[in-house]
Amino acid sequence: MKKILITLSCLLCMPMSYAQHAFSVMDSIDANRINAAVLVHGDMWWNPVTLRAHCKFPADSKKHVGFAAALWMSAYDDAGQLHVSAQTYRQNGNDYWPGPLDASGALDYATSEQWAKIWKVRRSDVALHLSNIMHHTGNTPEAILTWPAKGNAYAAGKDGVPLTITEDMAPFVDVNGDGTYQPLKGDYPDIKGEQTLFWVFSDNGPSHDETSGKPLKVQVHALAYAYKRNTLIDYVVYHDYTVINKSGQDYENMRMGIWEDVDLGYYLDDFIGFDSAHRMAVTYNGTNDDGGFAGHPVNSYGSTPPAVGLTWVRLPGDAAGNYVPAGSFTWFNNDPSIIGNPVVDTEYNHYLRGRMRNGTKIILGASVLAECTSGNNLGDRRFVLTSSDFNLSAGNRERMVVAMVVDSQAGGCPVITDISGLREVADTAWQHWQQAVSVRDVSSPLRWLTVHPVPATQSVSIVMPVTPVSGSVLSVYNALAQRVLQQPAGRAAITLDIGTWPTGYYTVVVTGEEYIYRGRLIKQ
């Protein structure tokens, strides 16, 4: 109940002039063992309607490995003026609003409402789209038809409102290379994982009253995606941010960071730490019995609680295997002290730069488990994990990618003696991100199945370029994009009996972990 009571008390203190309400639109990345919510105002992992956490682990449980999180950023312009944008629980307002900035670097409420949507595409949507010989609005998955990409005549926002998009927006595979997204000519979203979520938010919208600072006039293209492989990658969710400077001025000493109110199960017995080698913020339980001293409140983890990390897999400045260090890891308390909740823009900026609210540098323990070994008091922890300083010139963009990783059997103090399990999941997240290919790469037109004979009357042989991995699926679609067959694809060659099939054209699709193969079948 802690977060509900605090937030409601703050909402009652909000000025009545705050007329343009925030949007509660949310969706979840829920492809694997984690179910993590994202929201259109740049925040995530909570539900602003129920005022409760929505970062479930396991995904089908009511237990959570986080309460709320959001993107923070600050920078200085050529005149030395500070610009800050951040988001927390919305009790003071919102620095971010859904939607792109216009030519003047502004975003009005009506446009923001149109863009208050999260677009969600599944790998199966793309496979179905690729199976179609001819594309029309009736056989194109809605998620692909309304994808908010440049030039899409069918792009649709909140409540289906049409969107006109003339700039690069959601990523897509441009099959005919004409520079615009045309799903009925075969273009499709460029996604990763089993599912990808896309949304847009900016920091110069109807209000900028969370920090009361000067906005940067930046536009953020956000992606969240996850894989399901029955391996450690099932314990990872990626958040990918591209930040575009549309202010018309250059910024120096810019920092971007992720703020999180962690709440690992029961919220009053958490510890945190920092693993510099993995650029990772770590949250673990202060006891090996989560919620035990409070009588095991509902949805606490009990014995052997998990640990969770946020690891930067890409930061501004990374290049060719050379990874810059994280900028800082800063913690603060849920109180009004000098190391308590920030109130004004300068205090948010200080936390982004490893300092207390008053600017004093924060000194951290040398060990990632320092809170455990030092006998610190258990508590309700918050932190900010940031990039190093970088410059962002007018019109340019930068990208950063953070992965949430979970060790399901980490345990708490004093049982937890290292974070090797969490590091293993983090290593998996890093390696998979560096090696993983997008659907653009795995669905190249060169990746064809061999189908013979063509045409065929009684049986047909399907030969794949490689032996399919476990879990691969073979599907056959008719000319109307209706699936007429689905079966496991566990061998490099498969024979299908098509003697009773109607004559006509068919598409064969084999989907696996990192590939989509296609072939044409003609029944005579």
Distance CA 23, CA 27 (A): 12
**pLDDT category of residue 441 using cuts at 50, 70 and 90:** low
- Cβ neighbours for 110, distance < 8 A, ≥ 6 positions apart: none
How many other β-carbons are positioned within 10 Å of the β-carbon of residue 443?
25
* pLDDT, the chain, mean: 91
- The structure tokens 């829920």 sit at 30
Q: What sign does the dihedral 462-463-465-466 (CA atoms) show?
A: positive
Of 399, 431, 422, 484, the residue nearest 229 (C-alpha): 431
* Closest by Cα among 272, 273, 264 to 302: 264
Locate the DSSP E strands across 291-396. Answer: 302-303, 307-314, 329-332, 382-386, 390-392
CATH topology of domain 444-523: Immunoglobulin-like (2.60.40)
Report d(CA 345, CA 341) in Å as an integer. 12
Tokens coding 424 = 């293993």
Parts of the chain belonging to CATH 2.70.98: 2-117+197-435
Position 124 scores a pLDDT of 86
pLDDT of 17:
37
The pLDDT of 320-339, averaged and rounded, is 91
Mean per-residue pLDDT, 496-520: 84
| pLDDT for the residue numbered 480 | 72
Q: Reply yes or no on whether the pLDDT at 12 is more than 80.
A: no
Q: Could you tell me the pLDDT band of residue 380, with boundaries at 50, 70 and 90?
A: very high
Spatial CA neighbour of 35 closest among 268, 242, 195, 143: 195
117: how many CB neighbours lie within 10 A of its CB?
A: 25
Phi, psi of 252 (to 5 degrees): -120, 160
Pick from 119, 113, 112, 170: which is nearest to 141 by CA? 119
Per-residue pLDDT of 107-156, as tens digits, reads 999 999 999 999 999 988 998 888 787 899 999 999 999 999 999 999 99
- Residue 150: burial class (beta carbons within 10 Å; 0-12, 13-18, 19+): middle
Residue 242 reports pLDDT greater than 50? yes
The answer to whether 211 and 90 have CB atoms below 8 angstroms apart is no
| Each residue's pLDDT tens digit, 59-79 | 999 999 999 999 999 999 999
Q: Cα–Cα distance between 248 and 250 in angstroms, integer?
A: 7
Residues of the chain within CATH 2.60.40.3080 domain(s) are 444-523
Give me the residues paired with residue 312 across strands. Answer: 402
With beta carbons less than 8 A apart as the criterion, state whether 206 and 116 touch: no
What's the one-letter identity of residue 512? G
Token pair belonging to 309: 């990390």
- Distance, CA of 17 to CA of 343 (rounded, Å): 20
Q: Can you name the CATH fold of 2-117+197-435?
A: Beta-galactosidase; Chain A, domain 5 (2.70.98)
pLDDT tens column, 330-365: 999 889 999 999 999 999 999 999 999 999 998 877
Residue 372's pLDDT is: 93
Distance (Å, whole) CA 460 – CA 499: 10
Helix residue ranges per DSSP H, 138-243: 142-145
